[in-house]
Amino acid sequence: MRFSPTFLDEIRDRVPISDVIGKRVSWDRKKTNASKGDYWACCPFHGEKSPSFHCEDRKGRYHCFGCGVSGDHFRFLTDLDGMNFPEAVQQIADMAGIAMPQPDVEAEKRDRERTSLQDVMEMATQFFQDQLQTANGAKARAYLRDRSLTGRTIETFRLGYAPESRNALKEHLAGRGVPKEQIEACGLVVHGPEIPVSYDRFRDRIMFPILSAREKVIAFGGRAMSPDAPAKYLNSNETELFHKGSVLYNFSRARKAMGGADGAGTIIAVEGYMDVIALHQAGIENAVAPLGTALTENQLSLLWRLTAQPVLCFDGDGAGIRAANRAVDLALPHLKPGFSVRFAMLPDGKDPDDLVKHEGRAPFDKVLANARSLSEMLWTREVQGGGFDTPEKRAELEARLKQITTVITDENVRRHYGQDVRDRLNAFFQGASRQQSAPRGGFERNPRQSAGRGGPAGRGGQPAQRAGTGAISDRLARSSMVSGNQALPPLRESVLALTIVNHPQLLFEEYDEVSAIDYENRDMQKFWSAVLNAASSAGPRLTREVLIEMLEAEGFGALLKGLDQQIRFARLWTATAAAAPEDALEGYRQAMSLHKRTKALLWQRRELENELAYATEEGDGETVSQVLRSLQEVQLEVVRMENQEAIIDGFGVLSGRIKGPAGK
């Protein structure tokens, strides 16, 4: 029986390849990173003692670096279990919960026709490429040269030129024996009952072939050469091969590039064809673009198939901000645990092409590093430019945010967004209240009135502001324990990271815990992803020298130097290469314990502050008093940690045990 590519793709997409292979192998705990869909095992096809068999859910492929076997879901079952292909398809379909298709003569006929149409599209692509190199294509070549595109880039993306003649492509294809019906079915000509003679759809345009996930040409985008053209960009119309809302430009190349050192496991969605091509030429190959329209739900689903956190990149002008806000509304209903989007906003008046043309990828990388979360974009949109100086306006903002977040269908994500909104509103309104509380020559509130509905108060009606949001000391608020985005990370993060870099054997001995470290500092998040990728590729034989060389090659040399200086200044010698393995392990465990305790402390503080705000609004004096006592206990815990010199304002000694060489 013949299976359509659409059916095979659907069942493959629904079943992670690790689920298929995991029934026959035991995953190696040290090398496997399940959260990223990256798995290692001893190869089931040949005997081995160390795991060299690798599979990735994102790519739906496996490969053994020992014996060289590779394939997809079906190949694994046919090669290992001796199934025939239909049996393998049946098993994957059962796992996907999809019924096998019944034999359909008409469907098989359409598949053959679709294959024929792809052949026609390939002929058209070659025609446009050839035309770009003729005298007719001189103007188009000059345009591409002005956009700083190299010959290699033009060839990679198979750019071409459609001549001005109304029938150039049609006559070329007809001369190759292509029937009129197939030319029309491919959308290459304009035709219809009201048009006596069909003519080429694309004329005097630079041509951008659009590829399917299987890298077949399924459509074209054309950029007009004439400023008088009615449309600057023109896409193919909907055909049997092409459904615009379900395709992303450069999807197949970006999917392959994601695994590279610079891909960092994400996909970047930009606005246009030329943005994608310019970024590719600058070394950023994991970019895609919608086809001249706003991002659709289907296209967002495509992005989420590849990565849990795609980055949507928009121009910083008014149109770009409006497009970003539309994307916020598009994504909100579909958020799931772990799946969201981030937003990278370019400087006003700049597009990706402008940023990379003169200075390379560095300016664009900086924009990506400052990408904002969806929740931050939503908050900024709703409060920017608004005046909230009255209770009524603040109530309106609160109601609007609550209404917006109700569209999130996942219950857990919706609940956490509600909490995030409350946190932001509390901080926002408290700041506004402090500004308004300064004497202005009018009424001054009696502090005793704050014991009821007016605000938090302790026993006896005394003002409680000192124990409210300021319950944790200003010293801690300024310290590296709670600061996430500084030039250097908090000291505890530096200890964790540099200990592992200098003693990489700890990475494999403590892999489950190490791979789950959640860094606050953005630079450290990227750095740690590179460390884990290096460990995955090099395996347990990874040495300090090799790891540092790999990290420096990816641009982390300056960060490594800064971490080393920070550690040496604090005299935390167990994090250096000179430490004995057992001392490094002990230092790492103490830093990890502190890291976890700090996370828990900050979470506890936030929850208590929220509870205090609600109790205050309700005028519940008893609950207010209880929460204040709890906040005071949190403060005592902070003082205890500071007295033990776990970390004091980003500078200190862990547990007093950590000494330099020779007792220094």
Q: What confidence tens digit (pLDDT) does each residue in 493-547 have? A: 888 899 999 998 887 777 667 777 777 777 888 888 888 878 777 766 788 998 9
- The pLDDT of residue 479: 39
State whether 140 and 204 are in the same domain.
yes
Long-range contacts of 516-521 (CB under 8 A, 24+ apart): 516/35, 517/592, 517/595, 518/599, 519/489, 519/493, 520/483, 520/484, 520/485, 520/489, 520/490, 520/493, 521/484, 521/485, 521/486, 521/489, 521/490, 521/493
Note whether residue 13 is domain-resident.
Answer: yes
The span from the CA of 53 to the CA of 71, in Å, is 12
622 shares a domain with 494: yes
Contact 72, 17 (CB under 8 A): yes
Per residue in 544-571, pLDDT (tens digit) is 998 998 898 888 888 898 888 888 877 7
Residue 190 has pLDDT above 90, yes or no: yes
- pLDDT recorded at residue 641: 54
Residue 513, pLDDT score: 73
Q: Which residue has the tokens 């996930």?
A: 213
Mean pLDDT of the chain: 81
Task: Answer whether 573's CB lies under 8 Å from 560's CB.
Answer: no
Residue 183 sits in the same domain as residue 76: no
CB 109 within 8 A of CB 124: no
Please give the C-alpha separations between residue 155 and each of 123, 233, 276, 300, in angstroms, as whole numbers.
Answer: 16, 21, 15, 29
Is the pLDDT at 237 greater than 70? The verdict is yes
The three-state secondary structure class of 504 is: coil
Q: Is the pLDDT of residue 480 over 50?
A: no
pLDDT number for residue 219: 95
What is the reported pLDDT for 207?
97
Per-residue pLDDT at 121 exceeds 70: yes
- pLDDT higher than threshold 80 for residue 465: no
Same-domain check for residues 274 and 145: no
| Structural domain for 531, as ranges | 477-643
CA atoms within 13 A on the CB side of 48: 17
- Do 638 and 505 have their domain in common? yes
Does 116 share its domain with 141? yes
The answer to whether the beta carbons of residues 31 and 536 sit under 8 Å apart is yes
Domain contains 390 = no
Other C-beta atoms closer than 10 Å to the C-beta of 386 total 12
Domain count, the chain: 4
Same domain as 150, residue 80: no
DSSP codes, 569-629: HTT-GGGSTTS-HHHHHHHHHHHHHHHHHHHHHHHHHHHHHHHHHHHHHHT-HHHHHHHHH
Q: Are 453 and 619 in contact (CB under 8 A)?
A: yes
Do the strands 311-314 and 342-345 form a parallel or antiparallel pair, or are they unpaired? parallel
Question: With 0-12 CB in 10 A as exposed, 13-18 as middle and 19+ as buried, what is 315?
Answer: buried
Q: What is the 3-state secondary structure (H, E, C) of 279-310?
A: HHHCCCCCEEECCCCCCCHHHHHHHHHHCCCC
Q: Which of 380, 397, 432 is the last residue of a domain?
A: 380
Q: Does residue 91 lie in a domain region? A: yes
